Copies of this chain bind each other. A is one copy, B any other.
């Protein structure tokens, strides 16, 4: 007997505004929800029937969240964060009650728990609080008594009794935190995709689900734009060694296990190819070579509240330096202004900017033990006639900045380069 945490998001509960299910639009909102709640109830019941203990974590129905946010926005351009948390936390509370009702109507035994009832203590940062402590005695009792506890994700309570929410990816974090606190054997995430893919299937037809991936690889993929699991929940899982299982709520097939690194994982050179369209480049060209210049630039950018992604510095033939970096497209205009101002002191020959770039990254722990990975990636891009503007690497990742218009071709080229690789191909066979 295992203890399994099962997390269902808004899409599993009938969020019409998201995902690929445009064919559902004929169904009325309410009946779609009912059908989805029943389906989720059946998944939890079937898991329990196989002899496991089950704790379910749910998000709000997506359309509920949107309706509440629209009303708050109509009332105030700047609603107090405390009141937004009070408002938004009702969405999950509705989901837990409805799912408990659905499970009971199928003959099961369920009991809903709000975050406060579970004893999820957070700090006092409304809208994006962090979990400090979980006192899950009540959950343990309910599980021991044969119930399926249904826990509201995304929400908690401060020591002073204020209702808080955990921010983006909050329900995922609740699930992982509960798995850690209850020492669960597995934390399952039910999604409208089959698992984590080697790259985005919408961009590259050769994309295949990955069957096992380690936390560090997942973190690189998550932070690089693969939005299936939020990176905060993966970090949490890594810190507490919680094995994750990303799978589809549409069918029974196994999805992707996200687990601590295993020795065999290094056999695969590249686990996946990620990309990020939200990049814009600013380059100081011909910067005088004197100490402290880089610090001056990035202190100025940082003080303007702009987050920098890639940073590259290279020396030019004349002894001067080029310092380039990328920022999100939303911050581009402001970053450009700051850069121009900074240059009055720095004295670079010119500032070159490009709003139309993107980033493509190959990720894999196998890079540590395989040579020549970077060269293979660059050759693949070169063979496709794609010009590399910036390069940045970490121990398990190689990223390049290229023109945004070439993103699709670049992802396909890199993906194919490593898909031809024996290990990568083997992995594909296993997951099909």
Interface residues of A (CB under 8 A from B): 30-31, 33-34, 37-38, 67-68, 70-72, 74-80, 82-84, 86-87, 89-90, 93-94, 96-98, 100-102, 104-105, 110-112, 114, 116-117, 138, 161, 163
Complex Cα–Cα for A89 and B112 (A): 13
What's the least CB distance linking A291 to chain B, in Å? 50
A34-B75, A71-B98 are known; give 20 further A-B pairs, CB within 8 A. Answer: A30-B67, A30-B71, A30-B74, A38-B75, A72-B97, A72-B101, A75-B98, A76-B101, A78-B105, A79-B101, A82-B111, A83-B97, A84-B97, A87-B93, A87-B97, A89-B93, A90-B93, A90-B97, A114-B163, A116-B116
Complex Cα–Cα for A97 and B138 (A): 28
Q: Which residues of chain B have C-beta atoms less than 8 A from A101's C-beta?
A: 72, 75-76, 79-80, 83-84, 87
Which of B33, B74, B83 contacts A112, CB < 8 Å?
B83
Residue in chain B with minimal CB distance to A88: B97
Which of B94, B100, B116, B117 contacts A68, CB < 8 Å?
B94
Q: Which residues of chain B have C-beta atoms less than 8 A from A71's C-beta?
A: 30, 33-34, 98
Which of B76, B98, B104 contacts A102, CB < 8 Å?
B76
Which of B34, B89, B96, B111 contacts A74, CB < 8 Å?
B34
Interface residues of A, dominant DSSP? helix
Complex Cα–Cα for A72 and B105 (A): 10
Which 3 pairs of residues, A with B, have the shortest CB-CB distance? A87-B97, A76-B105, A86-B97
On whether the beta carbons of B94 and A87 are closer than 8 Å, the reply is: yes
Q: Which residues of chain B have C-beta atoms less than 8 A from A87's C-beta?
A: 93-94, 97-98, 101
Q: Which residues of chain B have C-beta atoms less than 8 A from A86's C-beta?
A: 93, 96-97, 100, 112, 114
Complex Cα–Cα for A303 and B385 (A): 90
Residue in chain B with minimal CB distance to A112: B86
On whether the beta carbons of A98 and B72 are closer than 8 Å, the reply is: yes
Q: Which residues of chain B have C-beta atoms less than 8 A from A70's C-beta?
A: 30
For this complex, 14 residue pairs linking A to B, each with C-beta atoms less than 8 Å apart, are A30-B67, A33-B71, A76-B104, A76-B105, A78-B105, A80-B101, A80-B104, A83-B97, A83-B100, A83-B101, A84-B97, A86-B100, A86-B112, A138-B161
On whether the beta carbons of A117 and B79 are closer than 8 Å, the reply is: no
Which of B79, B90, B93, B117 contacts A104, CB < 8 Å?
B79
What's the least CB distance linking A271 to chain B, in Å? 41
Known pairs A30-B74, A38-B75; A94 contacts B90 (CB<8 A): yes
Q: Which residues of chain B have C-beta atoms less than 8 A from A94's C-beta?
A: 68, 87, 90
Q: Which residues of chain B have C-beta atoms less than 8 A from A83's C-beta?
A: 97, 100-101, 104, 110, 112
Q: Which residues of chain B have C-beta atoms less than 8 A from A112's C-beta?
A: 82-83, 86
Residue in chain B with minimal CB distance to A152: B86
Known pairs A100-B83, A112-B83, A161-B117; A105 contacts B75 (CB<8 A): yes
Residue in chain B with minimal CB distance to A119: B161
Most buried by B among A34, A86, A89: A86
Complex Cα–Cα for A364 and B20 (A): 66
What's the least CB distance linking A239 to chain B, in Å? 29
Q: Which residues of chain B have C-beta atoms less than 8 A from A80's C-beta?
A: 100-101, 104
Complex Cα–Cα for A94 and B93 (A): 11
